[in-house]
Amino acid sequence: MKWIIVIILAIVLQQFLPWWSVALAGFIYGFIIQQSTRKAFINGFFGIFMFWGSVAGYVYYVNNGLLANLLADFMYVPSGILMVLLTGITGGITGGLASLSGKYLREISHLQIYPLEEK
């Protein structure tokens, strides 16, 4: 459930910064919360996947799939729903790798942040 922190960070940062702020949210999450490499990637991936996937799904629902179907045709993807899924996966990979980068920076900088350690 720590991936909810990534979603909250992404929502706050997206109010002030462009689309790439989801990577910054994942990076901050990976840097602050001490966890294993696998969990850092999975939480960063799942948090941004859920965030971007739900936003893309909402846009798909609101305009009856018009934009997603146009993008799917443009990118030779079979359907608009698959385009929504690919949007979530792309964001998830971005968030996962950013979270992993934050975790590795924390390791090489030897910082000790105790209150948010994983048990």
- Would you write out the chain's pLDDT as a tens digit for each of its 119 residues? 788 999 999 999 999 999 889 999 999 999 998 889 999 999 999 999 999 999 999 999 999 988 889 989 898 989 889 999 999 999 999 999 999 999 999 888 876 665 555 55
Q: Enumerate the domain spans of the chain.
A: 3-109
Taking the C-alpha atoms of residue 103 and residue 100, their distance in angstroms, rounded to an integer, is: 5
Reading the block at residue 55, the tokens are: 């936003």
Taking the C-alpha atoms of residue 27 and residue 18, their distance in angstroms, rounded to an integer, is: 15
Beta carbons within 8 Å of 30's beta carbon, 6+ residues apart: 40, 44, 98, 99, 100, 101, 102, 103, 104, 105, 106
Global pTM? 0.85
Q: How distant is the alpha carbon of residue 95 from its chain centre?
A: 4
